[in-house]
Amino acid sequence: MKVFITGGTTGIGLELARQYLADGHVVGVCGRDLTKLPQELKDKLKSYQLSVTDKKSLDEAISDFGRDGLDIVIANAGRSVGVKEKMADWSKAYDVMDTNVYGVMYAFESALKIMTSQKSGHLVAISSVAGFVGLAGAASYSASKAAVTTFCESISLDYKSDNINVTCICPGFIDTPLTKQNNHPMPFLMSASKGAALIRAAIERKKLRYIFPWQMNFLMMFLRILPRKVYYFIMSNQTLNFTKS
Ligand SMILES: NC(=O)c1ccc[n+]([C@@H]2O[C@H](COP(=O)([O-])OP(=O)(O)OC[C@H]3O[C@@H](n4cnc5c(N)ncnc54)[C@H](OP(=O)(O)O)[C@@H]3O)[C@@H](O)[C@H]2O)c1
């Protein structure tokens, strides 16, 4: 299989790349800084240095990688604001939306050019449980992931007749360079290798949406169905902070 992963230089994306390679697949990754790639993987991967916010560069990379076919595109690249605060820095918030939402859309648009003509393919986005509710201190991150999750649901309906599968992955806390900076409790934290293995299994099963771990799924679904006044009361007095995933 040919698998292209955005944001494959660290964390979940890198672990997915490592596992797909180990199983003998052809893997392409992109990231803004390819020097982060582990030395032992550099020769095995096809890598592209670019930002997913640069539509033209991403399109050229996916077209190049998918020249003779493309099976899976995983739109994984993402960022968060990283602090629990009001929307003090609006430029960071725009950047989060740009990377997390447009980065996924650009990747899907480019992949679909190939997949619709070959009448097969699988689009995957790494969203987050943070998109199920509006988390305090994470307005842009929560909103960006809500957009990705809903976008995936629509796209899965739109491209069903083209034999294209869509999977939206909504992880809880995964131990990556991103979450290593967190100084708050991270309930049900999971290793990146275990997270990637679960994500791959969900892709293989062609799940429409995969939320994990189950405890986080349960918690977020509970928060989502609460009357909003009750949610507001609980979260205004929260001790847990989910904002940095
Ligand atoms: N870790 C968690 O607990 C968790 C939970 C839920 C969802 N997620 C989501 O999972 C995805 C991966 O996160 P992670 O935890 O693995 O974070 P990470 O370790 O920080 O990795 C992020 C990856 O995205 C790349 N990236 C960021 N901005 C980019 C851009 N503009 N263009 C190209 N590549 C870019 C980074 O590479 P460069 O720096 O080289 O560009 C890196 O490879 C994100 O979408 C995140 O929101 C993570």
76 lines ligand 1 (CB under 6 A): yes
CA of 196 to the centre of ligand 1 (A): 13
Does residue 77 belong to any structural domain of this protein? yes
Does residue 131 belong to any structural domain of this protein? yes
Residue 124: band (very low, low, confident or very high) from pLDDT cuts 50, 70, 90: very high
The minimum-distance atom of ligand 1 relative to the CA of 130 is 6
118 lines ligand 1 (CB under 6 A): no
For helices 11-22 and 192-204, the axis angle rounded to 10 degrees is 60
Mean confidence (pLDDT) of the chain:
93
Q: What are the tens digits of pLDDT across the range 137-149?
A: 889 999 999 999 9
Q: What are the tens digits of pLDDT across the range 173-197?
A: 999 998 887 777 889 999 999 999 9
pTM: 0.95
99 lines ligand 1 (CB under 6 A): yes
Does 131 have pLDDT greater than 60? yes
For helices 214-225 and 228-236, the axis angle rounded to 10 degrees is 120
Does residue 9 belong to any structural domain of this protein? yes
Does residue 242 belong to any structural domain of this protein? no
- For residue 136, what are the domain limits? 2-236
How buried is residue 44: exposed, middle or buried, by Cβ count under 10 Å (0-12/13-18/19+)?
middle
Structure-derived torsion over alpha carbons of residues 19, 37, 104, 92, reported in degrees to the nearest 10: 140
Q: What's the structural domain count of the chain?
A: 1
Does residue 245 belong to any structural domain of this protein? no
Where residue 153 sits, what CATH number does that domain have? 3.40.50.720
Verify whether residue 141 is a known catalytic residue. yes
What pLDDT is attached to residue 183?
74
Does residue 241 belong to any structural domain of this protein? no
Q: What are the tens digits of pLDDT across the range 23-73?
A: 999 999 999 999 999 999 999 999 999 999 999 999 999 999 999 999 999
